[in-house]
């Protein structure tokens, strides 16, 4: 039986393992289960290549409290920080091991995953919110599904007409990346003033629009998508000028959804779409079950250093309540 099973090998899961090992929990007492073939899968797939990964993302606190440190750097360097952490602390990660169920049985948890069933005294969930990206509220015609995507890396997009949908920093970064790849870009944002973007991204987008490097559709609402006779996508906009644009591809950057069913099956209720946990990230209903990272913070509060800090706080509680006494 393991001391702790951590579900998810993103920034929160990796940092929690590093924190515990650094405080003396033997590395062979910790198992990390990762659904994907690689660690930090969300960063690998959703971050554009060459993305500048900022420590104060969304203006959040850039100070890391624990053993993990992080500074502004490019995507590859950010991934290297996490890869090196796994090596340095000898963290045991099982890939292709999606956790399907976690059950509490008297003195232990039983975790059923795609690579087997494991038991532990404690469990932490660090699966983030991007496994289930938010979808638009209009229907995507079946013929267009392959031309509509929710990430930036699964297809090489070059020399195309693309409409990015979203009002946050991810949408802004997708636009900048796709313009650099010689695409012809529209950005459809419901916010007129782009208020969800950080000032740098907002300025960049406004500047690019002015310089006609892309077309900003600020304050636009998409009502439907239709396939044109040429096989392109007609994007219909509500009470807007222009009434529609025609593109080859849609890229949605609408954020992610709390995996509520997964949490509910474990006996964790949600409050305002977030799991009910105490200040130390432990479930109020299931002692010994922790939630860290994006899942544990308020909507729009997720960032790498925030994930590290949730893990550091959880580790303090784990050491005090479950290890040192």
Ligand X SMILES: Cc1cc2nc3c(=O)[nH]c(=O)nc-3n(C[C@H](O)[C@H](O)[C@H](O)COP(=O)(O)OP(=O)(O)OC[C@H]3O[C@@H](n4cnc5c(N)ncnc54)[C@H](O)[C@@H]3O)c2cc1C
Q: Does 41 bind ligand X (CB under 6 A)?
A: yes
Binding to ligand X, residues 300-319 (CB under 6 A) = 302-305, 307
Q: Does 167 bind ligand X (CB under 6 A)?
A: no
Q: Does 293 bind ligand X (CB under 6 A)?
A: yes
Binding to ligand X, residues 172-201 (CB under 6 A) = 173
Positive or negative CA dihedral for 21, 27, 33, 36? positive
Q: Does 43 bind ligand X (CB under 6 A)?
A: yes
Q: Does 9 bind ligand X (CB under 6 A)?
A: yes
- Pick 47 or 186: Cβ nearer ligand X: 47
| 1 CB-side CA count, 13 A | 11
Q: Contacting ligand X (CB under 6 A), which of 36, 185, 233, 247? A: 36
Least distance (Å) between residue 111 CB and ligand X: 9
Stretch touching ligand X by CB under 6 A, among 29-37, 156-164, 184-192, 228-236: 29-37
β-partners of residue 113 are 99, 116
C-alpha to C-alpha distance for 36 and 79, rounded to whole angstroms: 15
- By the 8 A CB rule, do 111 and 117 touch? yes
Biggest CA pair distance of the chain:
71
- Pick 275 or 293: Cβ nearer ligand X: 293
C-alpha to C-alpha distance for 106 and 237, rounded to whole angstroms: 55
Stretch touching ligand X by CB under 6 A, among 123-131, 211-219, 229-237, 313-321: 123-131
Q: With contacts defined by CB under 6 A, how many residues of the chain interact with ligand X?
A: 36
- Pick 126 or 288: Cβ nearer ligand X: 126
Contacts of 186 (CB under 8 A, 6+ apart): 161, 162, 163, 164, 214, 215, 216, 217, 235, 245, 247
Q: Contacting ligand X (CB under 6 A), which of 27, 83, 94, 98? A: 98
Q: Does 19 bind ligand X (CB under 6 A)?
A: no
Q: Does 46 bind ligand X (CB under 6 A)?
A: yes
- The residue count of the chain comes to 325
Least distance (Å) between residue 117 CB and ligand X: 14
Least distance (Å) between residue 238 CB and ligand X: 26
DSSP assignment string, 4-23: EEEE--SHHHHHHHHHHHHT
C-alpha to C-alpha distance for 56 and 304, rounded to whole angstroms: 9
β-partners of residue 2 are 120
Residues lying near ligand X in the complex (CB under 6 A) are found at: 7-13, 33-36, 40-43, 46-47, 53-54, 57, 98-99, 126-128, 130-131, 170, 173, 293-294, 302-305, 307
């Amino acid at each position: 039986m393991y001391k702790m099973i951590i579900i998810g090998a993103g920034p929160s899961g990796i940092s929690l393992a590093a924190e515990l090992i650094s405080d003396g929990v033997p590395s062979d007492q910790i198992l990390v289960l990762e659904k994907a073939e690689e660690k930090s899968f969300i960063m690998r797939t959703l971050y554009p290549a060459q993305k500048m990964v900022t420590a104060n993302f969304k203006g959040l606190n850039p100070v890391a409290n624990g053993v993990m440190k992080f500074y502004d750097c490019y995507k590859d360097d950010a991934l290297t920080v996490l890869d090196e952490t796994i090596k340095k602390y000898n963290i045991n990660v099982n890939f292709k091991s999606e956790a399907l169920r976690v059950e509490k049985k008297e003195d232990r948890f039983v975790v059923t995953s795609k690579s087997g069933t494991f038991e532990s005294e404690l469990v932490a969930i660090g699966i983030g919110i991007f496994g289930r990206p938010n979808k638009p509220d209009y229907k995507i015609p079946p013929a267009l599904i392959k031309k509509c995507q929710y990430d930036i890396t699964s297809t090489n997009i070059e020399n195309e007409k693309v409409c990015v949908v979203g009002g946050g920093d991810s949408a802004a970064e997708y636009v900048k990346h796709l313009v650099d790849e010689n695409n012809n870009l529209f950005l459809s944002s419901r916010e007129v003033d782009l208020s969800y973007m950080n000032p740098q991204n907002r300025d960049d987008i406004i500047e690019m629009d002015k310089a006609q490097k892309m077309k900003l559709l600020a304050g636009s609402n998409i009502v439907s998508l239709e396939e044109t006779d040429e096989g392109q996508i007609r994007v219909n906009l509500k009470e807007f000028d222009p009434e529609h644009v025609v593109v080859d591809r849609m890229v949605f950057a609408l954020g992610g959804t709390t995996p509520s069913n997964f949490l509910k099956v474990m006996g964790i209720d949600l409050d305002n779409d977030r799991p009910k946990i105490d200040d130390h990230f432990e479930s109020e209903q299931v002692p010994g079950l922790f939630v860290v990272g994006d899942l544990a913070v308020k909507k729009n509060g997720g960032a790498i250093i925030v994930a590290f800090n949730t893990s550091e706080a959880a580790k303090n509680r784990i050491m005090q309540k479950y290890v040192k006494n």
